[in-house]
């Protein structure tokens, strides 16, 4: 499945800045960063559950938020880009 994951983490405290780094690191293991807190992800149901569990463990639910949008098949192919936005290499390995 193709997903768009976005997050917003309150960074006014050192703990918040740590949560922000942890969320970024978690998401980098699943997909491609296309904006600062936006990731395009290709995964299966089991990986999605693991990703959501990891995010749930990281965020502070009283101030942070995570949104996951499930896109239709080939949804990434229909993205309109402006400016310096590059298409993400979804079928390439995430680890170099």
Q: Which residues are CB-contacts of 48 (< 8 A; sequence separation ≥ 6)?
A: 1, 3, 68
Ligand-binding site membership of 92 (annotated): no
Complete edge-to-edge strand list for the sheet that includes strand 31-35: 31-35, 38-42, 2-8, 65-71
Annotated binding site: 8
Annotated binding site for Mg(2+): 8
């Amino acid at each position: 499945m193709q997903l768009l994951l976005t997050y917003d983490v309150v960074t006014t405290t050192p703990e918040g800045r740590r949560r922000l780094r942890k969320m970024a690191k978690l998401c980098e293991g699943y997909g491609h960063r296309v904006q600062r807190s936006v990731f395009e992800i290709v995964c299966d149901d089991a990986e999605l559950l693991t990703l959501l569990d990891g995010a749930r463990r990281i965020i502070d639910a009283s101030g942070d938020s995570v949104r996951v949008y499930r896109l239709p098949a080939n949804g990434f192919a229909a993205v309109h880009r402006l400016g310096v936005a590059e298409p993400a290499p979804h079928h390439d390995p995430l680890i170099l």
